[in-house]
Chains A and B, each alone.
Chain A
Amino acid sequence: MRSQQGKQVRWKKPGLGLSGLLLFALSLELMKQGAGGLAPLLRGHLAVTNAADSMGFGWLMAYLILSGSPVAAAGVALLSAGALSPLQAFTMVAGSRLGACLIVLLVGFIYTLRGHERRTALTAGVLSLLLTGSVQLVALPMGVLILSRGWLDGLSIPGLDGLAAGVNRGLEPLIGPLAAFLPGWALFVAGVGLVMLSFRLFGRSLPQMRLERTDFGQVPRLVYRPEVMFLMGLAITLVTMSVSISVGILVPLSARGYMRRENIIPYILGANISTLADTLVAAALLRDPRAVTVVATHMVCAAIVSLLVILLAYRPYERAISDALTWITRRRRNFAFFLGVIFVIPVVLILL
């Protein structure tokens, strides 16, 4: 009886992971099929006609569904269906990363309303946004330059190409009838819903990570080298695919829930790069080299900017982020101003 339960537990996580992957592939194909019909809606009613629009659109979409990865996946699906240009898809992915920080901020805000201490509830969200925003400020123009010059064109992920072809062949009998039965927009919405479900399944399939007995057990107390924390954030998020889950793995290391700011800043910088690994897989599953190029460009630019910061200007950067964080979380008025800015910017981008 016990061994049967053990077997069930042993197979549960890989089963959830495999189901998540299949659902992910299905959702991408649905979004791709439905995206073609969305092009007139995007260009007409939503006026997503340039790179600034698509960035604001991705940013607000991530706010709306409280997650960045499905929006990034939707961005590459829209590119694959011809509804967005590579540049627009690139800025939409960037917008999705900025919008993704809102979930942490919103959860914190709800906690504040429930009477929790403001700084405790809001610190992680504000820090994520400051770090993502500061990197994107430089990574965005860099990415636009790389895309316009075509320096990373024609990229592919060899192993995934074959897998994608096989998975898509297997899903064809399911997608065909659905595409015939449902209108384009409904297919797209169903795809977004399923991609969110697939991320949940992935999340539940992750192995338990415990750092207490490793060399990183002292992260809440000691100050680690920034490059070490950067690589740690990069590696852990490559597995979890979510910045907030990666940060959550560090939290139990401290009984009081504290983490040294010297450690968490480079950790999130690293995590911000590998959190797009799922979008890269999405691009590969769509079998569109342009989509792979867009996501890879985003990751390469974020990596270059983050590495330059870590290696050349880390101390002033760390100081600036720390000061900004302190200022924003110090007073209600400051936080309200910050909140206003992060809602106004995507709206302004759409109006541009």
Chain B
Amino acid sequence: MKILLCTNGSSHTVQALDLGTRVARAAASSVDILAMVERDREEEVHRLAEAAAGDLKAAGIPVTILRRTGRMAEEVVRQAQAAPYDLVIIGSRGRRGVVRLLLGSVALHVTKHAPASVLVVKGHARDLRQFVVCSSAGPVSEHTVRFAGRLARALGASVTLLHVMSQLPLAKDAVPDDLEASAEELIQRGSREGVHLSQMLDLLAMEGVATRAVARHGLVRDEIIAEAQEGRYDLVVTGAHVTPGLNARLVDNLSADILLAANRPVLMVRWRERRALNAGGDC
């Protein structure tokens, strides 16, 4: 796995560099460290990048330090487009409301424009031992689950597959049983969601990852955040917003909402083959 770590010396990017180094030690085949050099932090950024590089080299991983100046969001995207990274790791300050509206979000910009999957480090970033992976029972989910499974195997983490059913029964002859069923019941019944969950559990089991499935009922956004908090997960994994064409304007970008609302690291897995997909977010 080729990983790009990014820092500009600010506290949240230092945290991202720290967690990113630990992830890279377990999962990377090569690492580039993008050091954003700012006038007042030049020495500090240099020291941080060198320390991380030394750490990774000691683990036998080839490392290159790339020094850049300018706006961090644009430079990260430019670098992510320049080489075939599997994963970009950045920090997020966690701005909210008007401040975010005025100053923007580096993490959002990167997740929107970088062609690779992005791990956004925010909140209290512990070792990544428990993942919650959002699954939409759509075609993109398989890629998301595979990617999360590979990372979980490398880190020795367990995975909880989460599927949220926000549907309401509107047809007179609709059978609403699935809308309150647990993951086990969905799997037993062989419903569309159950078949998908079962397949994804098998896929993770083949990676040698400890797994379980959870189904929640309610608004997708709220239920994912609630599960992430109640389950004390270390990482929320979701598929990136990859809908092409007109659908990109029509479909809601749930992944971005989850990224903004979560108070812990979020991994947005991007499907790199830009086929004519019809899926918006993976949850």
Contacts and interface: CB of A to CB of B under 8 A. Distances in A.
Q: How large is the interface on B (under 10, 10 to 19, 20 to 34, 35 or more residues)?
A: 20 to 34
B179 A258 contact: yes
A318 B172 contact: no
Interface in B216-232: 218-222
A172 interface: no
Contacts of B281: 223
Interface in A123-164: 123-124, 127
A322 B251 CA distance: 20
Interface in B153-187: 166-176, 178-179
A154 B167 CA distance: 45
A124 B167 CA distance: 12
B254 A223 contact: yes
A318 B222 CA distance: 11
- Which of B168, B175, B218, B221 has most chain A Cβ within 10 Å? B168
A226 interface: yes
B170 A247 contact: yes
Given A223-B252, A223-B281, A258 B219 contact: no
Given A111-B172, A223-B251, A223-B280, A261 B178 contact: no
Given A120-B175, A120-B176, A262-B220, A225 B250 contact: yes
Contact of A215 (B138, B179, B221, B250): B250
A262 B172 contact: no
Interface of B is mostly: loop
A78 B117 CA distance: 64
A257 B280 contact: no
Interface of A is mostly: helix
A228 to B, nearest CB: 5
A258 B252 contact: no
Contact of B176 (A119, A215, A226, A318): A119
A293 to B, nearest CB: 35
Contacts of A226: 252
Given A120-B176, A221-B138, A222-B280, A258 B250 contact: no
Contact of B174 (A257, A261, A322, A326): A257
A220 B278 CA distance: 13
B278 to A, nearest CB: 6
B166 A262 contact: yes
Given A111-B172, A120-B172, A223-B251, A259 B280 contact: no
B169 A119 contact: yes
B173 A257 contact: yes
B199 interface: no
A224 B252 contact: yes
Nearest to A322: B219
Given A225-B250, A225-B252, A256-B175, A318 B169 contact: no
Interface in A253-289: 254, 256-262, 264
B69 interface: no
A248 to B, nearest CB: 9
Given A223-B280, A319-B219, A322-B219, A262 B170 contact: no
B247 interface: yes
A261 B170 contact: no
Nearest to A255: B192
Contacts of A228: 249-250
A260 B167 contact: yes
A215 B281 CA distance: 16
Nearest to B278: A218
A117 B175 contact: yes
A116 B281 CA distance: 34
A149 B197 CA distance: 59
B252 A251 contact: no
A259 B172 CA distance: 13
A121 interface: yes
15 contacts: A119-B169, A120-B169, A120-B174, A120-B176, A123-B168, A222-B280, A226-B252, A228-B249, A256-B171, A256-B175, A257-B172, A260-B167, A260-B220, A262-B166, A315-B221
